[in-house]
Amino acid sequence: MIHNPILPGFNPDPSIVRVGEDYYIATSTFEWYPGVQIHHSRDLVNWTLVRRPLERKSQLDMRGNPDSCGVWAPCLSHADGQFFLVYTDVKRFDGNFKDAHNYIVTASSIDAEWSDPVYVNSSGFDPSLFHDDDGRKWFLNMQWNHRTESYGGSPKHPAFDGILLQEWDPVARKLIGPLKNIFPGSPLGLVEGPHLFKRDGWYYLTTAEGGTGYGHAVTMARSRAIAGPYEMHPDTHLITSKDHPEAALQRSGHGQYVETPEGEAYHTHLCGQPLPPKRRCTLGRETALQKCVWKDDGWLYLENGGPVPALEVAPPGPVERIERPENIRRDFDDAVLPPEFQWLRTPEPERLFSLAARPGHLRLLGRESLGSWFEQSLVARRQEDHRFRAETRVDFTPDTYQQVAGLTHYYNRHKLHALGVTLHEKLGRVVTILSCAGDYPDGRLSFPVDQGVSLPDGAVDLAMEVSDNDLRFFWRPAADGMGEGSGEAAWQPIGPVLDAGVISDEGGRGEHGSFTGAFAGMFAFDTSGRGQPADFDHFLYQRR
């Protein structure tokens, strides 16, 4: 069976394409670098991360982008022997403006080097590129209306001002011909995320509506002409959980249609898995896949009936599902980061970390504060489970309290918990906790163990355990310096049980105030500006 979500953890806005026997899904990465995650499958059941194509400064520079900005809603397509990826780099979040710039990059294959971007427009976000059967190409995006009272934390319908369509000339590399608003959306409002496909002479348009919270939906419409007018699906929404709070997959919307070589129909969508009692989706917006059927009326429906997505759906054929490993330990022995890790915003990672400075270690160079929008030494991986444990070993010798390095459960600048090694004027080297449990907009830290706990000399093991809405930190002196050794000291809990549920979309500001996901990782900052290094021996992620 296909078990949803197929891409667990922060993997929203899934755009899917099939090329021969191969399926690819591109998802949004927002402020995390490199940009756009592309997963691959040949059976729709097992998926592997194979590429993050936006990997150099000429393609993407997000320094200064606010939280939850950056790369929104990519669209991956294939035509004329090459792959096309369109995406938005959003430069503003709060207030009336979005400053959303849309680009196209291309490549001969998924694993090839992708081109420098071609700028398209800035009229709105969530772009897509449709390749018609007559060879023409069409660019779509939602139109953003800044004149309304729509602010980042409280979206209003009028700001989402319909879906724009214009022809794209791949030779001239620009938009040509008339620009038309082809679809205002349904009464649900907040229309975005457009994708077009063609079947039996009909142009089918799917969009996301209702905002990316609990009112989210996939809305469907069709027309005989690409520019409309479009008639609405008999049920309006193909996929939604908005009227079904009991459904396991909530916040369901924003996806794309795909067919197997045999013509079986599937549709991706983003979703969330809320935890009681506050219904916070601590894994962020994830990717799910639903099996669909075409009925005699020429409309697409979920195979299981109704709009509510299923946890399990039938794959195209018999296939064995490969379970994710319970433990993933990385020892930083290679010249590149392990594939699950990313950093924030900057296209100059050499200023943040090195895998060569001390062989077998990840060296982080202390840069700006934990929560900076510019240059922050934080290397982390997605939280993919409601219950997990993370461990690392850090060798760090601070000479001022302005230097801190350690382990963090991180969402953004106002939603984070961190266990760090630092220096205290009286206690010497200490381990302490820095926490910001949703204090928006100020981002004030709290220090649950005050000045911290004094440390012996040498490397320190740090750990955290997350169990649904609870987080607990642990530490111990490392045996044999930075070696594995034997006779490890017992883990010592430090500080109170913290609110892990706040490290979520719904935490702090609320469900529309941010929409990325929780990460577990390593950090170092040095606000003295001296770039004090911290060496991390390994990182362990363990499902519980």
Q: What residues act catalytically?
A: 375
Strand pairing of 192-199 and 128-131?
unpaired
Separation CA 218–CA 226 (nearest Å): 19
User: Which helix (H) or strand (E) segment is 202 a member of?
Assistant: strand 202-209
Contact 396, 444 (CB under 8 A): no
Task: Please name the amino acid found at residue 502.
Answer: V
SS3 for 157?
A: helix
DSSP character at residue 501: G
Separation CA 437–CA 417 (nearest Å): 8
CA of 383: how far to CAs of 9, 301, 465, in Å? 6, 32, 12
Separation CA 179–CA 143 (nearest Å): 11
Q: Considering only CA atoms, which of 40, 22, 97, 32 is closest in space to residue 60?
A: 32
Q: Considering only CA atoms, which of 288, 270, 272 is closest in space to residue 280?
A: 272
Maximum separation of any 2 CA atoms in the chain, in Å: 78
Task: Please name the amino acid found at residue 41.
Answer: S
Separation CA 287–CA 371 (nearest Å): 27
Separation CA 364–CA 481 (nearest Å): 18
DSSP character at residue 100: E
Q: Considering only CA atoms, which of 114, 109, 2 is closest in space to residue 47?
A: 2
Contact 32, 21 (CB under 8 A): no
Task: Please name the amino acid found at residue 206.
Answer: T
Q: Considering only CA atoms, which of 188, 72, 203 is closest in space to residue 130?
A: 203
DSSP character at residue 47: -
Q: Which two tokens stand for residue 434?
A: 């820095």
Task: Please name the amino acid found at residue 345.
Answer: R
Contact 22, 78 (CB under 8 A): no
Q: Which two tokens stand for residue 410?
A: 């991180």
